[in-house]
Amino acid sequence: MLKTTTVVVGAGHCGLAMSRCLAEKSIDHVVLERGEVANSWHTQRWDSLRLLTPNWMTRLPDYAYRGDDPDGYLSASETAQLITDYAKETAAPVQANTTVTSVRSVERGYLVHTDQDTWHARTVVSASGGSAVARVPALQHAIPAGITNLTPTEYRNPSEVPDGGVLVVGASASGIQIAEELHRSGRPVTLAVGEHVRMPRTYRGRDILWWMDATGLLDERYDEIPDLPRASRLPSMQLVGTPERKTLDLNALRGIGVQLVGRLAGIRDGLAQFSGSLANVFTLADLKLGRLLDTIDTWAAKAGLEDLGPPQRFAPTQVPSPARLTLDLRSGEIQTIIWATGLRPDLSWLDVPIFDRKGRVGHDGGVTASPGLYLIGMPFLRRRKSTLIDGAAADAADLTGHLVRYLDAT
């Protein structure tokens, strides 16, 4: 059996950030990765995907973006390369092509079984990804035969999608981007819209994420916000990273001909039924955007940034009239359904009693109830930006601090 102080599971940017912080504290560790470094960026992203965060936000412990386009948006393959370069530069002790099959609590630590070796470690950090597998609602089982079902982790490009109409379910970052791409490929696209987070790409001449970073909104802490469970379930921002920094909101999609319908509420005898509350959903998203812009404007006034241009307000999201409430999935109108309904972690290898009845891991800012077992990369783990690349440095530093204190005390 192999021994180390800390096993980190997963060599995405979170696992590597953790590795860097552990190395700085001289903690002996190994990073076990089932594929290659940045596996999810190599295997789970569609071809045209670009980061929705500007390049200057691609910051990791002891690393900042060095290219000549700080305001641009890296492609998925460039992101994979950057993470791979980071692993090399930090000499992270990655053991690739090693799948962790189980982690069990034993005396003085954990037994980590992999498809290669078994490790004993005093502490374990799961960095296996907060968005590892698609979360598809149970009503997918009511889809008539003959319709192709895809998730964003399976979708690659329009050429791999059957000709004919597409129903995209979910209007967050993945859903709006894939809906636009499929519409531009000539397919009729229907987009089912539930709760969403509307965002302009730029505001008062700056990237919206510049404002969210500068105002401190992305740094909001898990132990300071009123409703953490709700905040950690919020859908991703409706943003796309393009060279022209375009806004891709529902008005833009409707403008190019994407049909907007309400949330997919049920499927009965092949008939898809959409919620009739589209107008309410739009009003709520517009209201929340207005509040965000108010916060930004107040902050800008205090910071003396009036020269960036006057406050802007955006046209309300237009409700299609009448909004379609049903769609016959047996009629041939829809050939493909894209389930852009969110992603979730896969911690099925974790054989430690820290799951609640819904299968979610209980933790306090990444510190689980099992001493010496940590999580990183989960939604709102310690900060609003915890699932962004830019959130890993602060979270990894905090968790390393806790881990070092735990080792010293035991």
Ligand X SMILES: Cc1cc2nc3c(=O)[nH]c(=O)nc-3n(C[C@H](O)[C@H](O)[C@H](O)COP(=O)(O)OP(=O)(O)OC[C@H]3O[C@@H](n4cnc5c(N)ncnc54)[C@H](O)[C@@H]3O)c2cc1C
Q: What's the CA gap between 366 and 374, in Å, rounded?
A: 5
Strand partners, 356: none
Q: What's the CA gap between 221 and 122, in Å, rounded?
A: 28
CB 74, min distance to ligand X, A? 8
- Tokens 């090399």 locate to 88
| Burial group, residue 322, by CB count within 10 angstroms (0-12, 13-18, 19+) | exposed
Nearer to ligand X, 175 or 262 (CB): 175
Nearer to ligand X, 126 or 190 (CB): 126
Judged by the rule CB under 6 A, the positions of this chain that interact with ligand X are 9-15, 32-35, 39-40, 45, 51-53, 99-100, 127-132, 152, 174, 343, 349, 377, 387-390
**Could you tell me if 100 and 349 are in contact, meaning their C-beta atoms sit under 8 angstroms apart?**
yes
Nearer to ligand X, 201 or 278 (CB): 201
CB 162, min distance to ligand X, A? 22
Q: What's the CA gap between 335 and 148, in Å, rounded?
A: 6
CB 398, min distance to ligand X, A? 15
CB 36, min distance to ligand X, A? 8
Other Cβ atoms less than 10 A from the Cβ of 188: the count is: 16
Residue nearest to ligand X (CB): 12
Q: What's the CA gap between 8 and 376, in Å, rounded?
A: 10
**Could you tell me if 247 and 202 are in contact, meaning their C-beta atoms sit under 8 angstroms apart?**
yes
Phi, psi of 127 (to 5 degrees): -120, 40
CB 174, min distance to ligand X, A? 5
Nearer to ligand X, 34 or 183 (CB): 34
Going from the C-alpha of 127 to that of each of 33, 38, 75, 132, 345, the distances in angstroms are 10, 12, 22, 11, 10
Nearer to ligand X, 19 or 275 (CB): 19
CB 11, min distance to ligand X, A? 5
Nearer to ligand X, 79 or 275 (CB): 79
Nearer to ligand X, 172 or 370 (CB): 172
CB 377, min distance to ligand X, A? 3
Please tell me whether the peptide bond between 322 and the residue prior to it is cis, using omega within 30 degrees of 0: yes
